[in-house]
């Protein structure tokens, strides 16, 4: 403080003393929280990933050791409201700040992958079809959830129609139902295999010619036909056909 005016020189100013005032803590908002998680039948939201911006030069960090985050409900969904509490501050300058608990935070709960296990495909005899017959199938959901496995639309398809062992079978059509089914993403069974064995094919219409005794058991054959599944190209090779009488 200084003095002014024509007679100021006749005075000596004494600066004020005993003056007091308060310095209140600066509010510090936590931002950057992204509480996305996979469905786990709990309301718990992550308390990690938040940041604060104190005045440059101050050492202040977030203390989340006692913090809680709570989703509005535990079901799968996007942009779900999350309530936070009990965040604190730490660091050398933490006493100069007061934390503002996060508000307006939203997060996602994504579906929990659910595998169908115990599915088998039956071996079959060649029938020119790709269809495989399936059996079995179970799921394991979180305790307390109402989810059942729907087998009504299941189907199995061989990689091709031909005879072979341990042939890959593609499985589809398994579904889930129940009050909590929307919280799960069903994965169709993989790695299913089965065998296709050869179809027995009878040769019909074969006859043996009568003959005069010739001290041999050789019989002369004629005719011969097969009946294959319509659409298949299979011919009967009689070039090596041979007949033998029971005795001469």
In the chain (248 residues long), the average pLDDT of successive 10-residue segments reads 97 98 97 96 96 97 96 98 97 97 96 98 98 97 98 97 98 98 97 98 97 96 96 96 96
pLDDT at 121: 98
Q: β-strands 221-225, 148-150: how paired?
A: unpaired
- pLDDT for 202 equals 97
- The pTM assigned to this predicted structure is 0.80
CA distances from 197 to 18, 125, 165, 190, 193 (A): 104, 5, 8, 22, 13
DSSP letter (8 states) at residue 199: P
DSSP designation for 231: T
- Position 13 scores a pLDDT of 97
| pLDDT recorded at residue 144 | 97
Q: How far apart are CA 97 and CA 94, in angstroms?
A: 6
- Would you state the pLDDT for residue 181? 98
Backbone angles phi, psi at 186, to 5 degrees: -80, 130
Reported as half-sphere exposure (CB side, CA atoms, 13 A), residue 87 has a value of 25
Number of neighbouring beta carbons within 10 Å of residue 35 = 23
Q: Which helix (H) or strand (E) holds 106?
A: strand 105-110
Amino acid 211: pLDDT: 96
Q: Could you tell me whether strands 164-172 and 175-177 are parallel, antiparallel, or unpaired per DSSP bridges?
A: unpaired
Reference 182, options 122, 141, 133; nearest CA is: 141
Whole-number pLDDT of residue 111? 98
- Burial environment of residue 91 by CB neighbours within 10 A (0 to 12, 13 to 18, 19 or more): middle
pLDDT of residue 132: 98
């Amino acid at each position: 403080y200084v003095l002014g005016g024509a007679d100021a020189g006749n005075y000596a100013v004494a600066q004020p003393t005993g003056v007091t005032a308060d310095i209140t803590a600066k509010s510090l908002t936590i931002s950057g929280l992204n509480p996305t998680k996979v469905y786990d039948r709990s309301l718990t939201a992550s308390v990690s990933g938040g940041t604060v911006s104190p005045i440059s030069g101050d050492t202040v960090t977030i203390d989340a050791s006692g913090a809680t985050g709570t989703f509005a409900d535990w079901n799968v969904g996007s942009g779900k409201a999350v309530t936070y509490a009990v965040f604190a501050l730490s660091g050398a300058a933490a006493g100069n700040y007061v934390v503002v608990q996060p508000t307006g935070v939203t997060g996602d709960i994504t579906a929990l992958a659910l595998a169908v296990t115990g599915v088998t495909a039956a071996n079959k005899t060649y029938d020119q079809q790709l269809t495989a017959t399936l059996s079995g199938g179970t799921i394991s959901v979180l305790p307390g959830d109402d989810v059942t496995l729907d087998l009504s639309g299941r189907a199995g398809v061989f990689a091709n129609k031909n005879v072979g062992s341990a042939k890959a079978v593609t499985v589809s059509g398994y579904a889930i139902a129940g009050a909590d089914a929307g919280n799960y993403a069903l994965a169709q069974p993989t790695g299913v295999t089965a065998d296709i064995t050869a179809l027995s094919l009878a040769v019909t219409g074969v006859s043996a010619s009568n003959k005069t005794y010739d001290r041999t058991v050789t019989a002369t054959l004629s005719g011969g036909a097969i009946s294959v599944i319509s659409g298949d190209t299979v011919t009967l090779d009689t070039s090596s056909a041979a007949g033998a009488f029971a005795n001469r």
